[in-house]
């Protein structure tokens, strides 16, 4: 028989729940009220009892006092007056306590007043008898006692106390009777509640049965749905892994087991990095993954190397999704094996490379022959033939550019493209690229405008390759700009990087192209003319060139319409021979605004920039933020701050050897010994002579260059190499090697001042490099072992320091390098 069922009635359930809640709350409130009433009754009984005790204690103290008085009258012994004196001394406190206990009782104020009066009269009477006994003797005192005044007062006091006690007893009896009546009423209510609860229990039981019936039906449906989902999960051909918030794997489908070669039981509760490192770095897994709410910063992770159980690596594309569960955000990772796609890509690249190489030779001959024909070597051509030759030569050159692009892409992908890195001024690169494009821009009446930079923009790069990047960006801007418009090229600096921005006034980039703009063969659909068509490889090649220079390239929307293509690469410090993280070389000038401008004018033509400060706080902040070749200090302007400032500067690790050039309006105000101790290399009197200042700065630069040590850092962790180089920026020139072979190659041509070596390297051990350094002739090279491995005590004896990698070890490494540098300077007498 099929059981009928209906849709659960939400409002009915809510109403039942509300009624039950109201009943429970009402019952709780009622019981609370009854409890408070019982507590109040108990408190009233206790209070009445204490009131009676307090009233009786008053009378008891008075009786004790009277007894003591009579004993003294009869015997004349003062010791009998102790109870009397005690009653006299403590009576005020006893009456105060009684008043406090009776303060909320109606009609007791008058009783307390009468009680106080009787007590006072009794004490007066007792005092009179005691005085008579002391002065006139026993008979006189007995005569006073016999007049009956004392007995009369004591009887009145006894009667009044009895009256007050009876009043308290009557009030207590009334409260107890009221409580008894309430108790009977409470029992009646409780039995009524039991009857109602029994009825409610039957009703609730029926409702639970109905709910259980509906729940059973819903569970059957949910189970069917879960069975279908489980079947889909198990039988889907795509490998899928469910990852918990800590980065551990919880569920793998059979496709994932097959792809990675692990039984699911071997991977449960193990970190996902065993298969693929999808969240590199430190910190919480979800933070490293870029999860914000229910969004992942990069849900697609293309071409990731995933490890199989046998140690082999399979290329996969990974798609990540967010699944919020009760115990936190879970990640669903879907894997796609792209081994076949990679194989096809390699075949295609090999084909393109072969075809490109084969095309280069005949194309070169064709272009050369056409050039000779156009130049009239064979014979003067007719205007029509001349025009045909020009068209053929132009298209042959275009075909050569396409072939070159294909070859560049193949070289970049295979890592065979070489770069000739040299320090160069990026402004020159921009000018050469713009000059190369002026012919193309002239044919379309487009003006190329180069923005002026504040000064030299020194980078370390391959000039030809950077010209290729800028030329490509300018060429695209010209092709897609309307005739008569302007293409702007701006070269400048921002922080530690040099920037080049190429802005056009074209139609902009269509949304569908933006995501794949810097991929191979990406082309817009905005125009079909031959003038704007290309291979779609230019931006992909430009991106790879820029990345090989340590920079990045991106697209922006221009403010007035059009597009802005921009890229940046790190600035290069020609003084220290390394990446210039702070735009150095720079000079720190401590003077007023007019003085700073005057001093700066003395070296305006040099490639040195000045930072002007006018307070000790600003000077220290500047030194903390970047490195300087020298400091020019106006002693007259600094006044009393001059010497304290120099003292603080000399204690700063980044400025302890900073050359100081002092400016003064008179002879040096310091003695020669003070000048030497503060390392002031020159005094220049006002008015400042430009030649004198220039010579002093030149000396400072030579001295600073000579003091910067060369440090070789050997480690296969590129991130750690970058972080260490930034930490030692301005303190040392950094050379980097990622394996034993490259370290040995560098040491064969250079003598380093300090070596920082990791023990675990991909092609050997750091011990091999240490052995090479120990075998060299000449002064020993200080070595710092900076590794996650334990070097042991034996190794610690052979090196300067052994530091273990950790989150807090970098400051120790910097301090160790500084201490070695300072010690070497002392040994060399610097």
Residues 607, 455 contacting (CB under 8 angstroms): yes
The pLDDT score that the predictor gives to residue 3 is: 41
Does position 610 have pLDDT exceeding 60, yes or no?
Answer: yes
Mean pLDDT of the chain: 79
- Tell me how many degrees the CA angle 250-253-259 measures, rounded to the nearest 5: 110
- Indicate if 427 and 566 belong to the same structural domain: yes
At 807, the pLDDT band (50, 70, 90 cuts) reads very low
**Does residue 616 sit in the same domain as residue 717?**
no
Say if 258 falls within a structural domain.
Answer: yes
Burial class of residue 330 (count of CB atoms within 10 Å of its CB; 0-12, 13-18, 19+): middle
pLDDT at 606: 54
Confidence grade of residue 564 (pLDDT, cut at 50, 70, 90): very high
Is there a domain that residue 118 lies in? yes
Q: Which residues contact 140 (CB under 8 A, 6 or more apart)?
A: 132, 133
For residue 766, what pLDDT band results from cuts at 50, 70 and 90? Answer: confident
Last residue of a domain, one of 311, 337, 363: 337
> What's 803's domain CATH number?
3.40.50.2300
Strand, coil or helix: what is 464? helix
Query: 621 lies in which domain range?
Result: 578-707
Q: Residue 271 CB: number of other CB atoms within 10 A?
A: 15
Rounded distance, CA 716 to CA 721, Å? 8
Beta-bridge partner residues of 444: none
Give me the residues paired with residue 734 across strands: 711
User: What integer pLDDT is reported at residue 529 of this predicted model?
Assistant: 39
Residues 785 and 744 in one domain: yes
- According to the model, what pLDDT value does residue 575 have? 57
Residues pairing with 589 in the sheet: 612, 632
Residue 145's nearest CA partner among 126, 123, 117, 159 is 126
Answer yes or no: is pLDDT of 605 > 70.
no
Helices (H) and strands (E) in the chain, counts: 25, 28
The C-alpha atoms of residue 613 and residue 625 are separated, in whole angstroms, by 13
Question: Residue 249: what are its φ and ψ, rounded to 5°?
Answer: -80, 135
Specify which residues 571 forms β-bridges with.
Answer: 459
Tokens of 163: 């009256």
Residues 697 and 732 in one domain: no
Does residue 267 sit in the same domain as residue 346?
A: no
One domain for residues 139 and 283: no
> Can you give the pLDDT at residue 532?
45
Q: Could you report the per-residue pLDDT of 416-470, keeping only the tens digit for each?
A: 677 888 888 999 999 988 888 887 788 789 999 998 777 788 888 988 889 989 9
Low-confidence winner among 138-142, 212-216, 234-238, 352-356 (lowest mean pLDDT): 352-356
Say yes or no: 254 and 356 in one domain: no
> Is-contact 260 308, C-beta < 8 A?
yes
In a domain, 684, yes or no: yes
Q: Which range scores top for mean pLDDT: 14-28, 540-554, 580-594, 788-802?
A: 540-554
CATH of the domain at 406: 1.10.287.130
636 and 770 fall within a common domain? no
Which among 685, 641, 642 has a CA at the least distance from the CA of 663? 685
Instruction: Find the range with the poorest average confidence among 82-91, 367-376, 486-495.
Output: 367-376
C-alpha distances out from residue 274 to 240, 302, 627, 806, Å: 15, 18, 43, 22
* Placement of tokens 């009277």 in the chain: 66
pLDDT tens profile 70-127? 888 888 888 888 888 888 888 888 888 888 888 877 777 888 888 888 888 888 888 8
The residue from 398, 414, 430 where one domain ends is 414
Confidence label for 175 from pLDDT (cuts 50, 70 and 90)? confident
Segment 378-403 mean pLDDT: 74
For position 2, what pLDDT does the model report?
38
**Residue predicted with more confidence, 588 or 686:** 588
pLDDT surpasses 50 at 179: yes
Q: Domain check: are 614 and 661 in the same one?
A: yes
Asked if the structure places residue 1 within a domain, the reply is no
- Residue 5 within any structural domain of the chain: no
223 within some domain:
no
The bridge status of strand 586-590 relative to strand 609-613 is parallel
Residues 6+ apart with CB under 8 A from 109: none
Q: Is residue 228 part of a domain?
A: no
- Residue 267 sits in a domain whose CATH number is 3.30.450.20
> Does the predicted model carry a pTM greater than 0.85?
no
Looking at the structure, do residues 126 and 62 belong to the same domain, yes or no?
Answer: yes
In whole angstroms, what is the distance from residue 565 CA to residue 818 CA?
42
Q: Are 805 and 787 in contact (CB under 8 A)?
A: yes
Strand partners of residue 783: 755
Tell whether 481 and 512 lie within a shared domain. Answer: yes
Q: Of the candidates 384, 414, 444, which is a domain's last residue?
A: 414
H or E element in which residue 161 lies: helix 149-235
Decide if 694 contacts 715 (C-beta within 8 A): no
How far is the C-alpha of 264 from the C-alpha of 270, rounded, in Å?
10
Residues 197 and 155 in one domain: yes
Count of domains forming the chain: 6
Q: For residue 246, what are its two tokens?
A: 């800590």
Structure tokens at 745: 């190659």
Task: Determine, yes or no, domain membership for 437.
Answer: yes
Name the band, by pLDDT with cuts 50, 70 and 90, for residue 582: low
């Amino acid at each position: 028989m099929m059981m009928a069922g209906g849709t659960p009635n939400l409002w009915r359930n809510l109403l039942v729940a509300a009624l039950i809640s109201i009943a429970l709350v009402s019952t709780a409130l009622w019981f609370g009220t009854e409890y408070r009433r019982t507590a109040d009754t108990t408190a009233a009984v206790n209070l009445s009892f204490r009131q009676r005790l307090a009233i009786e204690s008053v009378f008891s103290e008075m009786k004790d006092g009277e007894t003591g008085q009579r004993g003294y009258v009869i015997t004349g012994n003062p010791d009998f007056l102790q109870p009397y004196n005690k009653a006299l001394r403590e009576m005020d406190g006893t009456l105060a306590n009684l008043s406090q206990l009776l303060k909320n009782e109606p009609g007791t104020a008058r009783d307390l007043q009468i009680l106080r009066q009787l007590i006072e009269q009794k004490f007066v009477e007792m005092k009179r008898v005691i005085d008579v006994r002391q002065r006139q003797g026993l008979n006189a005192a007995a005569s006073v006692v016999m007049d009956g005044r004392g007995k009369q007062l004591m009887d009145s006091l006894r009667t009044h106390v009895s009256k007050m006690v009876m009043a308290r007893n009557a009030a207590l009896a009334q409260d107890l009777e009221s409580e008894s009546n309430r108790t009977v009423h409470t029992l009646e209510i409780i039995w009524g509640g039991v009857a109602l609860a029994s009825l409610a229990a039957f009703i609730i039981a029926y409702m639970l049965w109905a709910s259980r019936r509906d729940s059973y039906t819903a569970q059957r449906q949910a189970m069917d749905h879960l069975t279908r989902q489980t079947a889909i999960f198990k039988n889907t051909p795509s490998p899928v892994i469910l990852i918990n918030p800590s980065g551990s794997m919880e569920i793998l489908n059979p496709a994932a087991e097959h792809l990675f070669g692990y039984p699911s039981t071997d991977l449960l509760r193990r970190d996902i990095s065993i298969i693929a490192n999808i969240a590199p770095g430190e910190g919480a897994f979800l933070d490293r993954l870029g999860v914000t709410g229910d969004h992942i910063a990069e849900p697609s992770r293309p071409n990731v190397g995933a490890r199989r159980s046998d140690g082999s690596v399979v290329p996969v594309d990974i798609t990540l999704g967010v699944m919020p569960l009760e115990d936190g955000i879970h990640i669903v990772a879907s894997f796609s094996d792209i081994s076949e796609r990679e194989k096809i890509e390699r075949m295609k690249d090999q084909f393109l490379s072969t075809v490109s190489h084969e095309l280069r030779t005949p194309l070169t001959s064709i272009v050369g022959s056409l050039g000779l024909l156009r130049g009239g070597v064979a014979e003067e051509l007719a205007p029509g033939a001349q025009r045909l030759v020009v068209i053929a030569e132009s298209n042959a050159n275009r075909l050569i550019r396409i072939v070159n692009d294909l070859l560049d892409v193949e070289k970049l992908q295979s890592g065979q493209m070489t770069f000739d890195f040299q320090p160069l001024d990026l402004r020159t690169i921009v000018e050469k690229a713009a000059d190369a494009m002026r012919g193309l821009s002239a044919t379309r009446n487009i003006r190329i405008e180069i923005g002026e930079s504040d000064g030299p923009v020194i980078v370390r790069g391959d000039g030809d390759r950077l010209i290729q990047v800028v030329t490509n960006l300018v060429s695209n801007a010209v092709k897609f700009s309307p005739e008569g418009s302007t293409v702007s090229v701006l070269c400048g600096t921002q922080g530690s990087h040099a920037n080049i921005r190429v802005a056009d006034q074209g139609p902009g980039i269509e949304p569908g192209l933006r995501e794949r703009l810097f991929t191979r063969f990406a082309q817009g659909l905005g125009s079909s003319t031959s003038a704007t068509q290309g291979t779609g490889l230019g931006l992909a090649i430009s991106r790879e060139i820029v990345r090989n220079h340590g920079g990045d390239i991106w697209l922006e929307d221009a403010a007035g319409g059009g597009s802005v293509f921009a890229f940046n690469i790190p600035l290069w410090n020609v003084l220290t021979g390394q990446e210039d993280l702070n735009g150095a070389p720079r000079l720190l000038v401590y003077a007023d605004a007019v003085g700073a401008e005057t001093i700066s004018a003395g070296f305006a033509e040099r490639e040195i920039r000045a930072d002007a400060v006018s307070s000790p706080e600003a000077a220290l902040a500047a030194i903390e933020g970047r490195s300087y070749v020298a400091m020019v200090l106006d002693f007259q302007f600094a006044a009393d701050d001059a010497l304290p400032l120099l003292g603080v500067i000399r204690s700063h690790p980044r400025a302890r050897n900073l050359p100081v050039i002092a400016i003064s309006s008179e002879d040096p105000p310091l003695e020669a010994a003070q000048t030497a101790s503060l390392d002031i290399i020159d005094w220049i009197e006002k008015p400042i002579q430009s030649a004198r200042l220039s010579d002093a700065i030149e000396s400072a630069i030579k001295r600073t260059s000579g003091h910067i040590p060369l440090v070789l850092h050997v480690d296969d962790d590129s991130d750690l190499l970058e972080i260490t180089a930034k930490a030692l920026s301005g303190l040392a020139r950094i050379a980097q090697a990622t394996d034993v072979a490259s370290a040995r190659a560098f040491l064969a041509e250079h003598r380093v001042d300090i070596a920082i070596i990791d023990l675990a390297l991909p092609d050997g051990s750091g011990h091999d490099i240490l052995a090479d350094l120990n075998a060299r002739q000449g002064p020993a090279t200080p070595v710092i072992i900076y590794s996650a491995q334990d070097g042991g005590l034996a190794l610690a004896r052979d090196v300067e320091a052994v530091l273990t990698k950790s989150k807090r070890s970098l400051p120790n490494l910097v301090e160790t390098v500084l201490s070695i540098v300072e010690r070497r300077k002392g040994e060399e007498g610097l």
